[in-house]
A and B are shown apart, each in its own frame.
Chain A
Amino acid sequence: MKYMLIMRATPAAVEAYKDIPFDEVITRMGRYNEEMIKAGVLLAGEGLAEDVDTTGFVVDFASEPPAVTDGPYGEIHELFNGFWIIQVSSKEEAAEWAKRCPLGPGSKLEVRRVTDESDFADFADNEYIQKESEWRAAEATAAAAAAKGDEAP
């Protein structure tokens, strides 16, 4: 299963972070990322730029056509400022990885399961006419055979 770790921080926490040398921030985060890469669980991750006032904006669908505004950044208390997507075997494992994130007071990680095909199983397209070619089965067997060395399956 996949989980998204969503980094949220209050403006105060973002400010507090500025007291730590940026080099150290990068190192801490880098170490955390490396841990997850080594464990084979990290699928993706990005940080979001802090200069929301100049580069961020909001598309609001309250109107038709949607309106582009500078966003209600002045009034929100938490900033969404980065995410990771990890592939783990349980909710608890997602929690363990989340707890290891080098964040301080004022920051939170929201942890959410990413949907997969099982969430849409009831809507799966079922109009396929079964057209048989043994391609896939053969492909899988070939793979197994290759893994075994060159003995015939």
Chain B
Amino acid sequence: MTPASDVRPTLDAVWRIEGGRIVATLAAACGDLALAEDLAQEAFVEALRSWPDGGMPDNPGAWLTTVGKRRLIDTWRRRERLDERHRAMAAELEEHAEDRWEPIDDDVLRLVFTACHPVLSKEAQIALTLRVVAGLSTEEIARLFVVPVATVQQRIVRAKKTLGAAAVPFETPEPSEWRARLSAVLGVVYLVYTEGYSATTGDRWMRVELADEALRLGRMVAGLLPREPEAHALVALMELQSSRFPARTAADGSPILLDDQDRTRWDRAQIERGRAALRRADALGRGRGAYGLQAAIAECHAMAPSADETDWERIVLLYEALGRLAPNPVVDLNRAVAVSRATGPASALLIVDRLAGDGALRGSHLLPSVRGELLAQLGRTEEARSELATAATLAQNARTRAVLEAKLAAL
């Protein structure tokens, strides 16, 4: 006999491991992700109720799936939709013990594609994916994103309703849609990651947790899509970025920038995992996409003994390629920073001035802070001062502002 208080953490852990497969199995049975999620919830509640007295089943995943399927049959009965197929399933449930459990990877893949469907808003995709694919509780998602639990619940309810309204089938995409749909899936994983990597709210460990969650999700997706180079490249990018976490923050929580990081504190094992993932992507022989190029940039940093000994010219080249694949002023700005390291501030300033002339990144502190930095290096102190002051005014994040003000004071 297990007390209820002990069941909850264990059940949560089982859900982390099996939740996605349970929902995927149920969704494959009924063709409806929203219904499957409801059924899975009911099974979860049932376990909370019965495990404390009856003890934990030998195969908790199978037990939960069976309960979910029984509830599904009840639902069909209520809707008077019991045809031959459903009777067969009911008979099968009667016959087999609750330890038969053979989840199918393809069902999990369908689940991933459905949860990241383009009819959903980014927020809805993220909430639903973490909930049904990663098996996180609503409370955990709320904690990681520093939003009220009710907000997360609302997003999930809305997401389920939207899928229903759009009659989204529980299927992997057609070949003609494949690329766009894959990019949506990878985009969701990476958005979760960047939220963890550069969050402006919450304490640092929470952010690391979120980044770890994205990595786990990314590894899972790469496992489901072993033939997709960008899935492996995304894992590579996240591993390489995360390898710097131990060196990114000072004891007082202030950020330590790349140049000043103690590289001995980078996680070498993680760097190796990242490089291995990039090699897997490359081995597929289809070239590098946006994630592959960013991973290659991260790899350049990871392999450099110091900031000055970094292969900046290669980084410039990689940013040029990335800018052509996915034109974006922030990529241009990063290229400018790399150019300043490779060939000096004057040529970098040309790029930044062109961006400023185009009105790019207006209202963001990024452009004036880089421009101020370059002007300072060129000895144009007065102009640098004014740019950095502008940047400090625009900075959203208090830590960033403090760094800019310190730089201003040092001029």
Contact = CB atoms under 8 A, between A and B. Distances in A.
Contacts of A121: 251
Contacts of B215: 40, 87
A150 B327 contact: yes
Contact of A153 (B193, B290, B361): B361
Contacts of A118: 205
A103 to B, nearest CB: 16
A148 B191 contact: yes
Please report whether the interface of chain B is mostly helix, strand, loop or mixed according to DSSP: helix
Nearest to B252: A126
Contact of B328 (A87, A95, A130, A146): A146
A144 to B, nearest CB: 4
Contacts of A90: 9, 12-13, 16
A18 to B, nearest CB: 27
Contacts of B218: 40
Contact of B191 (A117, A122, A137, A144): A144
Contacts of B197: 140, 143
Residue of A40, A95, A131, A147 ringed by the most chain B CB atoms within 10 A:
A147
B294 interface: yes
A132 B361 contact: no
B366 A134 contact: yes
A132 B187 contact: no
A22 interface: no
Interface stretch (B62-70, B152-160, B163-171, B258-266): B258-266
Given A40-B219, A128-B260, A141-B366, A133 B337 contact: yes
Interface size class of A (residues with CB under 8 A): 35 or more
Nearest to A129: B260
B255 A136 contact: yes
B35 interface: no
A96 to B, nearest CB: 5
B233 to A, nearest CB: 12
Contacts of A95: 10, 13
Contact of A147 (B194, B400, B406): B194
A52 to B, nearest CB: 26
Given A39-B220, A143-B190, A88 B248 contact: no
A139 interface: yes
Given A136-B258, A146-B294, A43 B269 contact: yes
A49 interface: no
B404 interface: yes
A39 B17 CA distance: 7
Contacts of B322: 146
Given A38-B220, A41-B216, A150-B327, A135 B13 contact: no
A89 B215 CA distance: 12
Contacts of B32: none
Nearest to B199: A140
Residue of A88, A91, A96, A97 ringed by the most chain B CB atoms within 10 A:
A96
Given A136-B255, A137-B366, A143-B197, 14 more contacts: A37-B219, A38-B105, A39-B17, A92-B12, A132-B373, A133-B258, A134-B337, A135-B259, A139-B334, A142-B330, A142-B331, A146-B290, A147-B194, A149-B326
